[in-house]
Each structure stands twice: as structure tokens, then as C-alpha cells.
Amino acid sequence: MDKIGIGVDIGGTEIKAALFDLISGKIVQQRMVPTEDGKLIDESPAFVRSVKEIIHDLSTEAGDKLSNIGLSAPGLAQKNGRAIGYMPGRLEGIEGLDWTSLIDSDHVVHVINDAQAALMGEVWQGAAKCLGDVIMMTLGTGVGGAVMSDGKLLKGVIGRAGHLGHMSISYDGPPDICSTPGSIEDAIGNATILERSEGRFETTHGLIEAYASGDKYAEEVWMKSLRALAATLVSLINILDPERIVIGGGIAKAGRYLFDPLEELMRSREWRPDGHSVKIVPAKLGFWAGTYGAVYNSMLSV
């Protein structure tokens, strides 16, 4: 192992970190600790101390082979890639934190949004390996996303690009948390499942289990969500013309109960010149995608 990198992914519940062999792309060591969002230690967020300790330990393990350090977190990363500049509502205290200064290291800590990191990880070592035009959507409590076009991660003017969950699929629908009317996030995200199922299902997993067992009401609710997702995907295909769409997040664990009906819906909705269709595939890296993408982003940023 000639070069070693550290990837850190700060989530709302857990902090994941890994030591990578940058030549093979394989994880050498993994660490995971609770984020403890909202907890303070000496008037500083507890997650700051945890990240510093993890990076110190992994840096010691890597020794002089350490080449790169990357960190991903929710929110909009600053243009200089040194901090998260905007993250309301969660991870209080993270905004403006310059991680390079905090960890007291000779290495710059390159910071990236967590959904963008997940896409970068899938492009480096996952379901979109070596591709240059890729869309990623993560289906969970909400809907996240990121876009790579012509080999470049789309960030936009303020880092907002890729928030695909806030794409409108119903112009007269109710506003979501970003004021988008009738968003795909509200149409399929777990946060609205109780409302969408008239109180019958508390989780999307429960809905899908009922759908799999033949429950007709569950089928109605689930297929309505999938029609919304298909409408979103065909719109993105027409706008961005990707080679592949990668779907991750907890809802993607539904497997064939998601991908089979979605494929059927896409057949009648996707514009397919000369028969060309876009492959829609499940993400491969799962829980650790953010760490892969964080370290890969740091490699590209050097």
C-alpha cells in the first residue's frame, strides 16, 4: 500500500470513517461512533471531538503513507471545499467549521456534501464505476441526489445543484420543506408515508411488505409513488442524458419490488431514440458510500 487516504462521513446518527488503500480502493480499517447531534463538550459540538479523535487515530495508523483526507456531511459545502457553509436544522455548530484547522494536520481536509459524496463513491468503486454521466438518487426519509455530467460533479453557483428531491412533479401540489410545490420527496419519501397512506402505514418498508403480500391498498399507494418517481427520472433523462441512474437509500432495499415495477413504468415513459434506454441500478456501496466519496473527492482536489 503506497498511498493511504481517510474518508469521514458525518451523518445525523453516526459518524463513519475508513482508512483506504488508494491504489486498490479497498477499505483497510473502519470506525463508527454515534454523532450525538446536539450534545456539547466544553461548549463545542460533541461530533467535532469525535471526528478529531478518529482522524488522529487513523492518521497514526497510516503513518507517512497518509496522502489525503476527505470529509462529507449534510449541507452546502463552501466553494473552497474547507467547510460546510449552510446546514439549517441539523448538526448545530457545523456551519463554517474549517476542519483543516481543527484537526491540526499537515493535510488539507477536503469537504463535500454527503449526497454528492455518495455519487462520487459509486463512480469510483461502485455501481457507476468509471462512468462520466451519472445521476444518483437516494430514497429514504427524504430524497437526496447528485449529478455528474461529462465527468464533472455539478455543484452550481452556491453548491445547491443535485437536490433532486426538490424537483416539482405537481405544480399545484403543497410546498415541501424547500417550498417546492408537489416535490418528488413528498411523493415517495418516508417522511410523508403516514399521510400518503391515510395513516395505515408508518414506514415505507411496512408499505412494501404489504404490497409484496398482495395488499391492494398498499399496491395503490406504492404504485402512485413509483409513477411519481418514473416521471422524475424521465424528466432528468431528457434534461441530462445520463449513462446510468443509481438509486440508493433505505427504500432501495426493496429490491425487485422497487426496480421491477419501475422498469415497467419506464418502458412506456422514457424517450428512447434508436431504442437506447438508460440503465437504472441499485447502489453498491451502501452504508459506507459517503466515506468512499469523501476520500475520492480529496484525491481529485489535490
Phi-psi map region of 221: left, alpha, beta (phi>0 left; psi -120 to 50 alpha): alpha
Q: Span 123-142, mean pLDDT?
A: 95
Q: Angle, to 10 degrees, between the axis of helix 204-212 and the axis of helix 256-269? A: 80
User: For the segment 186-200, what is each residue's pLDDT rounded down to a tens digit?
Assistant: 999 999 999 999 999
Show the beta-strand stretches assigned E in 11-57: 14-21, 26-34, 40-41, 44-45
Looking at residue 1, its pLDDT comes to 52
Confidence band for 44, pLDDT divided at 50, 70 and 90:
confident
- Domains 4-113+288-301 and 130-283 fall in the same CATH topology: yes
24 burial class (0-12, 13-18, 19+ CB within 10 angstroms)?
A: exposed
Q: Show me where the domains of the chain are located.
A: 4-113+288-301, 130-283
CATH architecture of 4-113+288-301: 2-Layer Sandwich (3.30)
Looking at residue 104, its pLDDT comes to 79
Looking at residue 40, its pLDDT comes to 87
pLDDT over 80 (residue 170): yes
CB atoms within 10 A of CB 199: 9
In one-letter notation, the amino acid at residue 222 is W
User: For the segment 54-81, what is each residue's pLDDT rounded down to a tens digit?
Assistant: 999 999 999 999 999 999 998 999 999 9
Question: Global pTM?
Answer: 0.91
Spelled out in words, what is the top-level CATH class assigned to the domain 130-283? alpha beta
Q: Span 109-125, mean pLDDT?
A: 96
